[in-house]
A and B are shown apart, each in its own frame.
Chain A
Amino acid sequence: QSALTQPPSASGSPGQSVTISCTGTSSDVGGYNYVSWYQQHPGRAPKLMIYEVSKRPSGVPDRFSGSKSGNTASLTVSGLQADDEADYYCSSYAGNNKVFGGGTKLTVL
């Protein structure tokens, strides 16, 4: 069982918005602003999409945004495109440890 809880699946039609949640505790997500999100296409390495809750690395479209409320972080993908279909993982600092969520499979209908 993963340390952070994500829904196993999410879906949306092209052009729509989808939000994926990531729930932890006050010892990880809720206690610090060091939550990151990764996108992983099948057979590929993960790609950083969001770091420090809401910051986007260079090259990541502004359709991807992150936020946090209490012990739950969220990734919102706006204007869904076919290439957004992938697995998404959240991760958080947790003291001398780093924890991941179990992953959410995003399907573009």
Chain B
Amino acid sequence: QVQLVESGGGVVQPGTSLRLSCTASGFTFSGFPMHWVRQDPGTGLEWVAAISYDGSEKYHADSVKGRFTISRDNPRSTLYLQMNSLRVEDTAVYYCARVGRYYDILTKGSFDYWGQGTLLTVSS
């Protein structure tokens, strides 16, 4: 069965860096676009970033552009989110999510599988 397992969250100080990972199993990881979505309990879901099946195409939300970078390692079936210059407002549960069908534009896809999430707390 499809499984997505996030890791790497924790408590960090503002201005520091952290990398989140999402390990996939139960499907051919290299065949699917992947996204990161975060959830602050106070403000709901927020799309963060997207990457094509082969990593050649990437999009980032304006709120993280220039600070976060999405990437993937297909042989390792792993999705990453490198987060630099972290801010208090980046505090959230971070989910990785799969787009289960082909779309000509990455951000058209809906998410058929989600991980359980990893909590990032940015606090001084």
A-side residues, CB < 8 A to B, are: 2, 32, 34, 36, 38, 45-48, 51-52, 57, 89, 91, 93-103
- The residue that B111 contacts in the complex, of A48, A52, A102, with Cβ under 8 A, is A48
Query: Among the listed stretches B20-28, B73-81, B113-121, which one makes contact with chain A, having 4 or more residues with CB under 8 Å of it?
Result: B113-121
Residue from A47, A89, A94, A97 whose CB has the most chain B CB atoms within 10 Å: A97
Query: Given known contacts A36-B110, A91-B110, is B116 in contact with A100 (CB within 8 Å)?
Result: no
Please give the residue numbers on chain B whose beta carbons come within 8 Å of chain A beta carbons, in ascending order.
35, 43-47, 50, 59, 61-62, 95, 103, 105-108, 110-112, 114-117
Number of A-B contacts (CB under 8 A): 59
* Complex contact A48–B110 (CB within 8 A): yes
Are A52 and B110 within 8 A (Cβ)? yes
Q: How many Å from the CB of A31 to the closest CB on chain B?
A: 12
Beta-carbon contact of A45 and B115 below 8 Å: yes
B116 touches A45 (CB 8 A): yes
Instruction: Name A89's contact: one of B35, B44, B95 (CB within 8 Å).
Output: B44
Assembly CA distance A32 to B47 (angstroms): 18
